[in-house]
Amino acid sequence: VSTLASVMPDPFPVASPPLSEAKRHRTSTRGASPPLEAMSISRAARMAGNEPQQMSALEAERRHYRPCVPAVLRVRVRAEPAQERTTCVSHEDLIASAFPTLYGSPVVSLVPADETDTSVAPRPLRVGCVLSGGTPAAGGHNCICGLFDHLEAFHPGSTLLGFRGGLRGVLRNSFTKLEAATVERHRNSGGFFMIGSGGDLIETEEELALAVRIARNNSLDGLVIIGGSASNANACLLAERFAAEGLAARVVGVPKSVDGHLKSEQVELPVGFDSASKLYSELVGNVMTDCTSSRKYYHFVRLMG
């Protein structure tokens, strides 16, 4: 709620009554030091490069938090193919026929690159990102922030495009260039309102062909899709089509879900599940406190997922 309030204007602003001359004088000379909340807001404003709207001291402090980043993503990396080939646990013939270009490709690991490796030269990149799916999950904004930070650190001069409204933004070629001020304004915040989200998918032959044309016209080097199971399945379809068409753009799927069902040996948990679990635990704990206090009600809690 505090996050939402920080970016949405007050729909019913109330004008402050005018101060008398004596009261105005007392207010301006009451103390030399500004209150803590004012100092926190000022710090956040300098960091974001613009004036925040209705930002609390708690949210201003939260902007300073920096998530723990895996060591391999704190350096320049290269892709190292392994002898192992990609496979599936069932329906192999069906999946192999659906992904003839990518199925059976080598499993790739990201490893630190040495300074002499010319294959990962710090050239500027053009990367698109999408927040996809009907249910936002905590951490979606920080995925974009982390992508922006990595491009700035290891590929100076890069351009990050945020496609608006989910995957339909790709089909409509509707995007915004994400600048530092926008990224900082949404760092460590919940929701998907930085660029919006949507449950649309790219499935038909016409839609896939249109996505290829838009990626080529925008000279994309990569497309990052942050979404649930359907969105990541769609990312696989796009990756297959891009590879078959010879596009330079690589498609990356980032699993997000408050349900926790998108996991494997490589993915411990999807983005958002940890925050959702802790929030649910807090809410259920509040109900339990009420139960032990009143001792006269029955409470039933139903959770999704």
Residue (of 178, 150, 144, 152) closest to 254 by Cα position: 144
Contact 167, 198 (CB under 8 A): yes
DSSP output for 13-78? --PPPPPPHHHHHHHHTS-SSPPHHHHHHHHHHHHHTS--SS--HHHHHHTT------GGGGS-EE
Q: Write out the two tokens for 82.
A: 């392994």
Contact 144, 102 (CB under 8 A): no
Residue (of 302, 224, 232) closest to 270 by Cα position: 232
Residue 252, burial from CB neighbour count under 10 angstroms (0-12, 13-18, 19+): middle
Q: Which residues are catalytic?
A: 259
For the chain, the 3-state helix, strand and coil shares in percent, each to the nearest 5, are 40, 15, 45
Please state, in angstroms and rounded to a whole number, the distance separating the CA atoms of residues 256 and 140.
8
Please state, in angstroms and rounded to a whole number, the distance separating the CA atoms of residues 296 and 305.
29
Which residues does residue 252 pair with via DSSP β-bridges, in sequence order? 224
Please state, in angstroms and rounded to a whole number, the distance separating the CA atoms of residues 219 and 209.
15
Q: How many CB atoms lie within 10 A of CB 227?
A: 33
